[in-house]
């Protein structure tokens, strides 16, 4: 998909309406900072072929669009320090060895094929991730990773 195929009132990433909150970045229009952020991540990792896999209506699965400001900002990393505690880690991991660990995360905000595509390509964003598999109906992502490269 090229920017020319999208009207300025449509989000380049998800195809939602940008009227009322149009974020312009890299000569493309986005409906919210979240879509702009995902585009930026994809662009930085040469993953923009995502935009050629289908029309916008296939990426926007909600049919209603997202409202600007509904995405939460990144949590303060210090608040997540408890996740390094061995007892917590043991509860979160489904399998763990010196070379491989697996876990499942509940991702309640998965809502479109953009989310699916990005989550299933996490291994391209971080070398410590071996595999990621999304269960869209359960809103879960199953990760297999190398604990020496990713904690």
The answer on 148 and 95 residing in a single domain is yes
The answer on 59 and 34 residing in a single domain is yes
Residue 71 falls within a domain, yes or no? no
Residue 76 in tokens: 């303060």
Residue 11 falls within a domain, yes or no? yes
Q: What is the pLDDT of residue 77?
A: 61
d(Cα 123, Cα 137) in Å, to the nearest integer? 22
Other Cβ atoms within 10 Å of 13 Cβ, number: 27
Count of alpha carbons within 13 angstroms of residue 140, beta-carbon side: 9
Picking from 66, 93, 117, the residue at the C-terminal end of a domain is 66
Picking from 17, 37, 66, the residue at the C-terminal end of a domain is 66
Instruction: Report pTM.
Output: 0.56
Residue 50 falls within a domain, yes or no? yes
Nearest by Cα to 120 from 150, 97, 140, 92 = 140
The answer on 110 and 58 residing in a single domain is no
The answer on 93 and 148 residing in a single domain is yes
Picking from 13, 38, 66, the residue at the C-terminal end of a domain is 66
Residue 88 falls within a domain, yes or no? yes
pLDDT, averaged per 10 consecutive residues of the chain (151 residues), comes to: 57 82 87 83 80 55 38 54 85 94 89 79 90 92 93 74
The answer on 80 and 35 residing in a single domain is no
Domain count, the chain: 2
CATH of the domain at 126: 3.30.70.100
Q: What is the pLDDT of residue 72?
A: 37
Nearest by Cα to 142 from 124, 130, 125 = 130
Q: What is the pLDDT of residue 55?
A: 52
Its domain, for residue 45, covers: 1-66
């Amino acid at each position: 998909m090229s920017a020319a195929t999208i009207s300025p009132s449509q989000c380049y990433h998800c195809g939602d309406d940008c009227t009322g909150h149009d974020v312009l970045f890299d000569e493309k229009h986005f409906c919210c900072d979240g879509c702009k952020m995902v585009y930026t991540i994809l662009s930085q990792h040469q993953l923009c072929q995502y935009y050629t896999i289908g029309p916008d209506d296939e990426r926007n699965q909600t049919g209603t669009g997202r409202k600007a400001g509904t995405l939460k900002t990144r949590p303060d990393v210090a608040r997540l320090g408890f996740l390094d505690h061995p007892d917590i880690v043991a509860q979160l991991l489904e399998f763990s060895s010196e070379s491989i660990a697996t876990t499942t995360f509940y991702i309640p905000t998965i809502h479109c094929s953009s989310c699916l595509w990005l989550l299933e390509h996490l291994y391209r964003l971080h070398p410590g991730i071996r595999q990621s598999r999304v269960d869209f109906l359960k809103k879960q992502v199953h990760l297999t990773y190398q604990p020496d490269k990713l904690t």
